[in-house]
């Protein structure tokens, strides 16, 4: 027990005591405390176990840079947040927190045995050890490593909280609410700008919160801030990412600082802020010193000791030793004395320090050890004392103490600046990188810009010690357990770039992103390599600056709002009929309509029989539709599609095949000429936006000579496919103004009239091989017409069918589905669709590519049918086809199965495939090797039913 | 999230409204059948893959739906200028650039 609450001082409200628990034990703190300050005040030194060696770790810092004190905060079932930094957890009544990465308890952790054998865990340990056998990775290494070297556990249940999100725009965004940030915000507000000021802490003030002399100034400034009506102040808000053109992502905590019973509304809010100018006022982070024993609980940053005392009224110990390389440590020592904390000694690596500081320290009764270094720290769970040696290697003596504060100088927080691609300039005097030239309209103010108020210091690497570095427990990256010797080792093993050293040692990785370790690692690597720091490089700063919850990033985009589901106007009807649905290109489509406990196969067989024998009704509303209008409409389609369009008469339809310019099939669909200057195009369900975009591209950028307009009408038309020998009978009584007789209205014709009193574009087309109609009506009337047809069809046993039956019926006829039977490498010739290519046309999209040697060579895959020798054997879609299953591995594959179904009509299975020289193989037997057997099948033409097409011309 | 200036709408709009359309100023040959295989390959597949200022096509897909051209720095992702389809690539682009 070392820390304690000072009798006075700090900004905590001593009249409001709060109870909380840590690892099951009860504690008390005050309003205004953080979990960290309240625990230190209660004498707790042990906050966590380190990542790799499971070394006991205490608090290092009082801000976002804290690497050790990662805890899980438990706000009830499914509301456990792991890896939260204790100094960033605002205390509230009833707070429940747990330490992490220890078992069975923080004080007695079994895995800390790793630490005894730390010589076995050098840099690159994982890379070197867990290499072979490869099979052991999945079963042995990964699970073990995950268990042993983990951070906190994520909850496994669904997050019950919800998260808000908003966009904001301002002329000036200020990140950081210290005095520099507040002044920048006030200045911008005076110019009349809209200003947003964000700060990650509960209260504004930044470093000034640990400086009572500035509190009255701070109060005056914040009063002005809140009085200005053009400044929005967001506290508990972290700017975690800085993106192009001053687009900043920030997350605001709304309820985590409240007791769960008081928390209402969204938990966090994600702000996407677009700013004219960004002012970064993020301050600087103090640098630890690298010396033997610097991770014993009770060794922390001097700035943390100062903040605990002056902001929270907490002494870090009863006898404090300062290990300094920088003047700021001396100022902190004097501030601690003034606050009533006993400072036993100041050890400074420098032999000369500013006289005023030395005099003041002496006057305060502090023992001074100049030109000296701490060479060892006694204690395991808490500091018991230090060994100090002159020059690090000279005569040593021990000092009893229970806390050590490190003052290693300051590192400006340049994370966001670097994310915005601002340049960094090495400053030799300060031993750090400072912001240079901006890429965006952005500037840095305050300590982050190197506007120091801390004095000067010495730039250090590992502090001198008579022990070799390899035998010191001198940590550089506390969170990732990287020691000075690991960086030395990495360099000795040949790593030269800091990017490589980072990945080999894990320095600066993970949630910490090197906030306290980057510069020390650079200095050590520079020393070992004997090259200046600037030649070693600097690792890339990446968002997020601090870990963010997935919930905040996701916001409202979950469940039904994750991806919009498009529903046709028949969807409700299908739902009421008990349809099973599938999603096709964001559309929800009825897949089949099971009756009386049918499974899919039974339902599909029944639906197929109904269509072949009588009549079936199918919702085809999702088909893409484009209205092509203008004097040059036919010329335009002639250039786009492989088919000739100019001779197509109004009132007639044509199957159109669309290629990309590289000659491969990209879409198809039946289109109708409604008038000389008007076409009703259809595309595949998934292809509609792509086809429209492609057509617009040619129209706008290549063929501006054409007078044509394209309009997407996909959602304007409901399309009811009525298919089967009784289809005409069903609609006969409903249709007005159209002669339905086969002579007047043949296959592939279109007529305009009415159906059930609703205007319709009635297509006589078939994707099933039966007599069929596709009835286009305005979407608003779709449900009404559907029900009228369904009623009229009752005498014929009209049967609703879904996409699965549609697939089977078209496969029986060998009609392709683009994207299933084709894969982006198939030409019209490959698919047996040469008949759809206008040979006499001088040009169309993709024509020139069809003449390339590759497109006409022998051996290209061709579309064929497959009939298995066992008529009930169902091939697997995607299965590979071979000619000789006994050939040595790798067996040459000649193609694959693209579609495969049970055909109720044929009483057997059928399949479609693309195989090399397929059409020349018709009649041959091929083989489909599966895991447990080899399936034999005969190659056929891709047409299993009514090859003459007599049924659809009925 | 980049802001892109649509030269038709004359507005800076977020990039989610736009789709990318590949390198600009590659006209489709008027008579593809007159081209050798190698010339057709050049039109179809060969692109400059520029490091630096790159003229490219964009479409304001969720806005006016028009295609237009842009000069973008492929290193910094900065749009130097955008201009209408059919206009020549601006001869000189200053580094400060900005909207057309």
Q: Is A439 helix (H, G, I), strand (E, B) or coil?
A: coil
Phi and psi torsions of A678, nearest 5°: -145, 125
> Does A400 have pLDDT greater than 60?
yes
- In the DSSP assignment, the letter for residue A214 is G
Mutation pick from A167, A242, A243, A245 vs chain B, by most beta carbons of B within 10 Å, is: A245
pLDDT value at position A496? 86
| Residues of chain B with C-beta less than 8 angstroms from the C-beta of A843 | 31-33
Phi and psi torsions of A274, nearest 5°: -105, 120
Closest by CA to A282, choosing from A314, A260, A250, is A250
> Does A514 have pLDDT greater than 90?
no
Confidence at A2, pLDDT banded by 50, 70, 90: confident
Give the bridge partners for A655, in sequence order: A670
CA A437, CA A425: separation in Å to the nearest integer? 9
| Residues of chain B with C-beta less than 8 angstroms from the C-beta of A662 | 44
Work out whether strand A95-99 and strand A566-567 pair parallel, antiparallel, or are unpaired. Answer: unpaired
Q: Under an 8 A CB cutoff, do B33 and A847 touch? A: yes
Work out whether strand A482-483 and strand A70-74 pair parallel, antiparallel, or are unpaired. Answer: unpaired
C-alpha torsion angle, residues A497, A502, A505, A509 (rounded to 10) = 180
Q: Kindly tell me the burial class for residue A212, based on how many C-beta atoms sit within 10 Å of its own C-beta (0-12, 13-18, 19 or more).
A: middle
pLDDT value at position A508? 86
Half-sphere exposure of A463 (CA within 13 A, CB side): 37
CA A948, CA A23: separation in Å to the nearest integer? 80
pLDDT value at position A362? 97
Q: Say how many C-beta atoms besides its own lie within 10 A of residue A737's C-beta.
A: 12
Q: Under an 8 A CB cutoff, do A245 and B3 touch? A: yes
Residue range(s) of every CATH 2.40.30.110 domain in chain A: 855-940
pLDDT value at position A455? 83
| Residues of chain B with C-beta less than 8 angstroms from the C-beta of A698 | 28
Residue range(s) of every CATH 3.10.20.440 domain in chain A: 4-129
Q: Under an 8 A CB cutoff, do A661 and B66 touch? A: no
Q: Under an 8 A CB cutoff, do B32 and A847 touch? A: yes
Closest by CA to A802, choosing from A952, A596, A577, A586, is A577
3 state SS for A803-823? HHHHHHHHHHHCCCCCCCCCC
Closest by CA to B83, choosing from B62, B67, B96, B94, is B67
Whether B13 has its CB under 8 Å from any CB of chain A: the answer is: no
Whether B22 has its CB under 8 Å from any CB of chain A: the answer is: no
pLDDT value at position A6? 97
- Residue for token pair 């298995």: A868
3 state SS for A904-926? CCCCEEEEEEEEECHHHHCCCEE
Q: Say how many C-beta atoms besides its own lie within 10 A of residue A264's C-beta.
A: 8
Distance from CA of B15 to the nearest CA of A (A): 11
Question: In chain B, which residue's Cα lies nearest the Cα of A854?
Answer: B37
- Per-residue pLDDT, averaged over A239-267, amounts to 95
CA A641, CA A440: separation in Å to the nearest integer? 47
CA A35, CA A18: separation in Å to the nearest integer? 11
| Residues of chain B with C-beta less than 8 angstroms from the C-beta of A693 | 19, 59, 61
What is the interface size between A and B, counted as CB pairs within 8 Å?
54
Q: Which two tokens stand for residue A536?
A: 């070693």
Confidence at A125, pLDDT banded by 50, 70, 90: low
The percent of residues in chain A predicted with pLDDT above 90, rounded, is: 84
> pLDDT digit string (tens) for A890-914?
999 999 999 999 999 999 999 999 9
Distance from CA of B91 to the nearest CA of A (A): 21
> Does B97 have pLDDT greater than 60?
no
> pLDDT digit string (tens) for B70-81?
999 999 899 999
Q: Under an 8 A CB cutoff, do B1 and A244 touch? A: yes
pLDDT value at position A78? 87
Q: Under an 8 A CB cutoff, do A702 and B65 touch? A: no
Q: Say how many C-beta atoms besides its own lie within 10 A of residue A807's C-beta.
A: 18
- Per-residue pLDDT, averaged over A870-889, amounts to 96
Q: Going by C-beta distance under 8 Å and a sequence separation of 6 or more, which residues neighbour residue A119?
A: none
> pLDDT digit string (tens) for A416-452?
999 999 999 998 888 899 999 999 999 999 999 987 7
> Does A828 have pLDDT greater than 90?
yes
pLDDT value at position A744? 97
> pLDDT digit string (tens) for A139-160?
666 666 555 555 677 788 899 9
> pLDDT digit string (tens) for A769-798?
999 999 999 999 999 999 999 999 999 999
Interface residues of A toward B, Cβ cutoff 8 Å, are 243-245, 247, 272, 274, 421, 439, 661-662, 693, 696-698, 700-702, 704, 842-843, 847-849, 851-853
Work out whether strand A195-198 and strand A163-175 pair parallel, antiparallel, or are unpaired. Answer: parallel
Buried b (16+ CB within 10 A) or exposed e, A826-851: bbbbbbbbeebbbeebeebbbbbbbe
Q: Under an 8 A CB cutoff, do A693 and B35 touch? A: no
Fold of the A4-129 domain: Ubiquitin-like (UB roll) (3.10.20)
| Residues of chain A with C-beta less than 8 angstroms from the C-beta of B44 | 661-662, 849
The answer to which of A96-105, A216-225, A362-371 has the lowest mean pLDDT is A96-105
| Residues of chain B with C-beta less than 8 angstroms from the C-beta of A696 | 59, 65, 67
Mutation pick from B23, B37, B79, B83 vs chain A, by most beta carbons of A within 10 Å, is: B37
Distance from CA of A276 to the nearest CA of B (A): 12
Picking from A274, A698, A849, the nearest residue to B44 by CB comes out as A849
| Residues of chain B with C-beta less than 8 angstroms from the C-beta of A851 | 33
Sheet with A880-881, side-by-side order of all strands: A880-881, A895-903, A908-916, A861-868, A934-940, A925-929
pLDDT value at position B100? 34
Alpha helices by DSSP H, A351-452? 355-363, 415-419
- Per-residue pLDDT, averaged over A73-91, amounts to 92
CA A735, CA A432: separation in Å to the nearest integer? 83
CA A505, CA A482: separation in Å to the nearest integer? 7
Whether B10 has its CB under 8 Å from any CB of chain A: the answer is: no
> Does A123 have pLDDT greater than 70?
no
pLDDT value at position A763? 98
Whether B52 has its CB under 8 Å from any CB of chain A: the answer is: no
Q: Kindly tell me the burial class for residue A45, based on how many C-beta atoms sit within 10 Å of its own C-beta (0-12, 13-18, 19 or more).
A: buried
> pLDDT digit string (tens) for A176-200?
999 999 999 999 999 999 999 999 9
Confidence at B96, pLDDT banded by 50, 70, 90: very low
Picking from B32, B44, B61, the nearest residue to A843 by CB comes out as B32
Instruction: Mention the CATH class of domain A468-538.
Output: mainly alpha
Give the bridge partners for A916, in sequence order: A861
Confidence at A136, pLDDT banded by 50, 70, 90: low
Confidence at A952, pLDDT banded by 50, 70, 90: confident
**Matching CATH number, A163-281, of 3.40.50.300, 1.10.10.60, 3.30.43.10, 3.50.50.60:** 3.50.50.60
Question: In chain B, which residue's Cα lies nearest the Cα of A701?
Answer: B85
How wide is the angle at C-alpha A158 spanned by C-alphas A153 and A163, nearest 5°? 100
Question: In chain A, which residue's Cα lies nearest the Cα of B25?
Answer: A701
Q: Which two tokens stand for residue B50?
A: 């520029």
- Residue for token pair 């036919």: A634
- Mean pLDDT, chain B, rounded, equals 91
CA A636, CA A429: separation in Å to the nearest integer? 70
pLDDT value at position A954? 77
Q: Which two tokens stand for residue A698?
A: 């040619």
Picking from B1, B31, B66, the nearest residue to A247 by CB comes out as B1
Phi and psi torsions of B68, nearest 5°: -145, 175
Asked whether the beta carbons of A463 and A289 are under 8 A apart, the reply is yes
Distance from CA of A245 to the nearest CA of B (A): 6
> pLDDT digit string (tens) for A660-670?
999 999 999 99
CA A677, CA A760: separation in Å to the nearest integer? 19
Q: Under an 8 A CB cutoff, do A852 and B66 touch? A: no
pLDDT value at position A104? 65
CA B70, CA A563: separation in Å to the nearest integer? 31
> pLDDT digit string (tens) for A686-700?
999 999 999 999 999
Q: Which two tokens stand for residue A707?
A: 């007078």
CA A657, CA A670: separation in Å to the nearest integer? 9
Residue range(s) of every CATH 3.30.1360.120 domain in chain A: 619-795
> pLDDT digit string (tens) for A348-377?
999 999 999 999 999 999 999 999 999 999
Question: In chain A, which residue's Cα lies nearest the Cα of B24?
Answer: A701
pLDDT value at position A101? 72
> pLDDT digit string (tens) for B53-69?
999 999 999 999 999 99
Picking from A244, A696, A702, the nearest residue to B2 by CB comes out as A244
Q: Kindly tell me the burial class for residue B65, based on how many C-beta atoms sit within 10 Å of its own C-beta (0-12, 13-18, 19 or more).
A: middle
- Mean pLDDT, chain A, rounded, equals 93
| Residues of chain B with C-beta less than 8 angstroms from the C-beta of A690 | none
> Does A122 have pLDDT greater than 80?
no
Half-sphere exposure of B49 (CA within 13 A, CB side): 3
| Residues of chain A with C-beta less than 8 angstroms from the C-beta of B40 | 848-849, 852
Picking from B33, B66, B76, the nearest residue to A843 by CB comes out as B33
Half-sphere exposure of B51 (CA within 13 A, CB side): 0
What are the structural domains of chain B? Answer: 3-27+37-84 (3.30.2270.10)
> Does A105 have pLDDT greater than 80?
no
Stated length of chain B: 100
Buried b (16+ CB within 10 A) or exposed e, A674-703: beebbbbbbbbbbbbbbbbebbbbbbbbeb
Confidence at A672, pLDDT banded by 50, 70, 90: very high
- Residue for token pair 């997935």: A550
| Residues of chain B with C-beta less than 8 angstroms from the C-beta of A852 | 37, 40
CATH number of the A855-940 domain: 2.40.30.110
User: What superfamily would CATH give domain A619-795?
Assistant: Probable tRNA modification gtpase trme; domain 1 (3.30.1360.120)
Confidence at B99, pLDDT banded by 50, 70, 90: very low
Confidence at A462, pLDDT banded by 50, 70, 90: very high
CA A61, CA A408: separation in Å to the nearest integer? 13
Question: In chain A, which residue's Cα lies nearest the Cα of B66?
Answer: A700
Confidence at A128, pLDDT banded by 50, 70, 90: low
Asked whether the beta carbons of A498 and A537 are under 8 A apart, the reply is yes
Whether B8 has its CB under 8 Å from any CB of chain A: the answer is: no
Asked whether the beta carbons of A548 and A509 are under 8 A apart, the reply is no
Residue range(s) of every CATH 3.50.50.60 domain in chain A: 163-281
End-to-end CA distance of chain A: 96
Question: In chain B, which residue's Cα lies nearest the Cα of A272?
Answer: B1
Whether B32 has its CB under 8 Å from any CB of chain A: the answer is: yes
How far CA A776 is from CA of A668, A713, A737, A760, in Å, comes to 18, 11, 15, 5
Confidence at A876, pLDDT banded by 50, 70, 90: very high
> Does B98 have pLDDT greater than 60?
no
Closest by CA to A553, choosing from A250, A197, A157, is A250
| Residues of chain A with C-beta less than 8 angstroms from the C-beta of B31 | 842-843
- In the DSSP assignment, the letter for residue A138 is I
Q: Under an 8 A CB cutoff, do A700 and B77 touch? A: no
Distance from CA of A247 to the nearest CA of B (A): 7
Asked whether the beta carbons of A35 and A95 are under 8 A apart, the reply is yes
Helix A179-190 to helix A215-227 angle, to the nearest 10 degrees?
30
Confidence at A162, pLDDT banded by 50, 70, 90: very high
Picking from B3, B28, B77, the nearest residue to A702 by CB comes out as B28
Alpha helices by DSSP H, A364-483? 415-419
- The ipTM, to two decimals, is 0.94
Picking from B21, B44, B65, the nearest residue to A661 by CB comes out as B44
Q: Per DSSP, which regions of A332-423 are E strands?
A: 343-348, 367-370, 372-378, 385-390, 396-400, 403-407, 410-412
């Amino acid at each position: 027990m070392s820390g304690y609450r000072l009798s006075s001082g700090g900004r905590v409200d001593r009249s409001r005591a709060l109870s909380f628990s840590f690892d099951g034990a009860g504690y008390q703190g005050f309003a205004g405390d953080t979990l960290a300050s309240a625990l230190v005040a209660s004498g707790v030194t042990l906050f966590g176990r380190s990542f790799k060696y499971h070394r006991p770790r205490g608090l290092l810092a009082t801000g976002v840079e804290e690497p050790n004190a990662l805890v899980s905060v438990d706000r009830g079932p499914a509301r456990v947040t792991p890896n939260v930094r204790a100094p960033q957890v605002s205390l509230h009544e009833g707070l429940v927190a747990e330490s992490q990465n220890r078992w069975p308890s923080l004080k007695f952790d079994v895995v800390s045995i790793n630490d005894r054998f730390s010589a076995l865990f050098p840099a690159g340990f994982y890379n070197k050890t867990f290499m072979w056998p490869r099979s052991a990775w999945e079963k042995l290494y990964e699970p073990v490593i995950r268990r042993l070297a983990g951070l906190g556990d994520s909850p496994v249940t669904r997050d019950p909280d919800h998260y808000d999100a908003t966009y904001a725009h301002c002329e000036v965004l200020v990140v950081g609410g210290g005095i520099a940030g507040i002044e920048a915000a006030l200045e911008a507000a005076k110019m009349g700008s809209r200003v947003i000021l964000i700060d990650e802490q509960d209260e504004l003030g930044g470093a000034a919160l640990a400086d009572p002399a500035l509190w009255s100034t701070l109060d005056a400034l914040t009063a002005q801030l809140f009085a200005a009506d053009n400044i929005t102040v967001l506290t508990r808000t972290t700017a975690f990412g800085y993106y192009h053109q001053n687009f900043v992502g920030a997350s605001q905590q709304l309820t985590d600082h409240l007791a769960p019973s008081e928390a209402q509304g969204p938990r966090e809010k994600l702000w996407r802020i677009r700013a004219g100018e960004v002012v970064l006022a993020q301050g600087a982070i103090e640098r630890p010193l690298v010396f033997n024993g610097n991770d014993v609980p009770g060794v922390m940053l001097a700035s943390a000791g100062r903040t605990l005392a002056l902001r929270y009224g907490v002494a870090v110990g009863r006898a404090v030793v300062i290990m300094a390389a920088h003047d700021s440590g001396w100022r902190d020592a004097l501030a601690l004395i003034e606050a009533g904390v006993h400072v036993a000694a100041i050890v400074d690596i420098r032999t000369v320090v500013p006289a005023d500081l030395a005099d003041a320290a002496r006057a305060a009764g502090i023992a001074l050890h100049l030109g000296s270094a701490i060479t060892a720290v006694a204690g395991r769970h808490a500091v018991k004392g230090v060994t100090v040696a002159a020059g690090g290697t000279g005569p040593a003596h021990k000092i009893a103490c229970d806390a050590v504060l490190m003052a290693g100088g300051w590192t400006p927080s340049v994370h966001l600046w670097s994310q915005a691609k601002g340049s960094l300039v090495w400053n030799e005097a300060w031993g750090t990188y400072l912001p240079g030239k901006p890429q965006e309209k952005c500037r840095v103010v305050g300590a982050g810009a190197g506007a120091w108020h801390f004095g000067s210091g010495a730039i250090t690497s590992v502090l001198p010690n008579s022990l070799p570095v390899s035998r010191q427990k001198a940590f550089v990256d506390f969170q990732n357990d990287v020691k000075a010797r690991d960086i030395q080792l990495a360099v000795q093993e040949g790593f030269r770039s800091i990017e490589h050293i980072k990945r080999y040692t894990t320095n600066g990785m993970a949630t910490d992103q090197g906030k306290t370790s980057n510069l020390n690692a650079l200095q050590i690597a520079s020393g070992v390599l004997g090259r200046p720091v600037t030649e070693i490089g600097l690792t890339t700063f990446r968002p997020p600056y601090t870990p963010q919850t997935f919930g905040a990033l996701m916001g409202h985009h979950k469940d039904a709002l994750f991806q919009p589901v498009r529903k046709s106007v028949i969807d409700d009807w299908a739902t009421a009929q008990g349809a099973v649905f599938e999603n096709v290109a964001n559309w929800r489509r009825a897949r089949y309509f099971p009756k009386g406990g049918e499974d899919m196969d039974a339902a599909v067989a029944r639906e197929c029989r109904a269509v072949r024998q009588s009549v079936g009704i199918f919702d085809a509303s999702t088909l893409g539709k484009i209205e092509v209008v203008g004097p040059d409409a036919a010329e335009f389609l002639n250039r786009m599609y492989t088919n000739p369009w100019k001779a197509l008469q109004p009132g007639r339809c044509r199957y159109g095949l669309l290629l990309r310019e590289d000659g491969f099939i990209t879409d198809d669909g039946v289109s109708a000429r409604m008038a000389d200057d008007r076409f009703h195009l259809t595309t595949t369900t998934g292809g509609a936006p792509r086809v429209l975009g492609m057509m617009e591209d040619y129209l706008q950028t290549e063929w501006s000579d054409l007078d044509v307009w394209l309009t997407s009408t996909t959602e304007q038309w409901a399309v009811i496919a009525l298919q089967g020998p009784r289809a005409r009978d069903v609609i006969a009584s409903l249709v007005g103004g159209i002669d339905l007789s086969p002579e007047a209205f043949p296959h592939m014709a279109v007529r305009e009239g009415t159906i059930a009193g609703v205007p319709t574009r009635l297509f006589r087309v078939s994707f099933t091989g039966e007599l069929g109609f596709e009835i286009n009506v305005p979407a608003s009337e779709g449900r009404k017409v559907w029900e009228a047809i369904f009623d009229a069809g009752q005498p014929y046993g009209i049967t609703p069918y879904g996409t699965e039956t549609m697939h089977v019926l078209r496969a029986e006829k060998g009609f392709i589905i683009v994207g299933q039977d084709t894969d982006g490498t198939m030409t019209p010739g490959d698919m047996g669709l040469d008949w759809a290519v206008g040979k006499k046309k001088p040009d169309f999209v993709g024509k020139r590519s069809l003449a390339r040697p590759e497109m006409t060579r022998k051996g290209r895959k061709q579309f064929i049918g497959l009939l298995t020798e066992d008529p009930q054997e169902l091939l697997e879609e995607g299965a590979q086809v071979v000619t000789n299953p006994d050939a040595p591995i790798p067996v040459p594959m000649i193609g694959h199965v693209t579609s495969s179904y049970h055909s109720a009509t044929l009483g057997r299975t059928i399949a479609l495939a693309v195989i090399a020289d397929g059409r020349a193989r018709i009649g041959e037997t091929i083989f489909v090797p599966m895991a447990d057997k080899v399936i034999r099948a005969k190659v056929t033409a891709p047409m299993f039913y009514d090859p003459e097409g007599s049924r659809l011309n009925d | 999230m980049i802001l892109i200036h649509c030269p038709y709408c004359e507005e800076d709009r977020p990039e989610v409204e736009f789709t990318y359309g590949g390198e600009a100023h590659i006209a489709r040959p008027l008579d593809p059948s007159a081209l050798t295989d190698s010339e057709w390959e050049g039109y179809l597949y060969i692109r400059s893959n520029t490091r630096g200022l790159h003229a490219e096509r964009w479409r304001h897909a969720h806005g006016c739906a028009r295609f237009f051209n842009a000069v973008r720095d492929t290193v910094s992702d900065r749009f130097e200028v955008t201009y209408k389809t059919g206009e020549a690539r601006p001869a000189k682009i200053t580094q400060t650039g900005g909207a057309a």
